Amino acid sequence: MRHYTGIDKFIHSFDQALRSLVPGTTSAQRSNPSENTETKLAVSEARHVAGLMRVNHSGEVCAQALYHGQALTAKLPNVRREMEFAAIEEQDHLAWCEDRLKELDSHTSLLNPVWYGLSFGMGAIAGIAGDKYSLGFVAETERQVSLHLQHHISQLPPQDERSRKVLVQMNEDELHHRDTALKAGGVDLPLPVKITMTAISKLMTKTSYFI
- Please give the annotated binding residues for Fe cation, written as ranges: 60, 90, 93, 142, 174, 177
Contacts of 12 (CB under 8 A, 6+ apart): 4
Give the separation between CA 67 and CA 82, rounded to whole angstroms. Answer: 9
The 10 Å CB-count burial string (b at 16+, else e) for 49-71 is bbbbbbbbbbbbbbbbbbbbbbb
182 φ/ψ angles, rounded to the nearest 5 degrees: -70, -40
CA 148-18-77 angle, to 5 degrees, is 75
Burial classification of residue 129, based on how many CB atoms lie within 10 Å of its CB (0-12 exposed, 13-18 middle, 19 or more buried) = middle
Annotated binding site: 60, 90, 93, 142, 174, 177
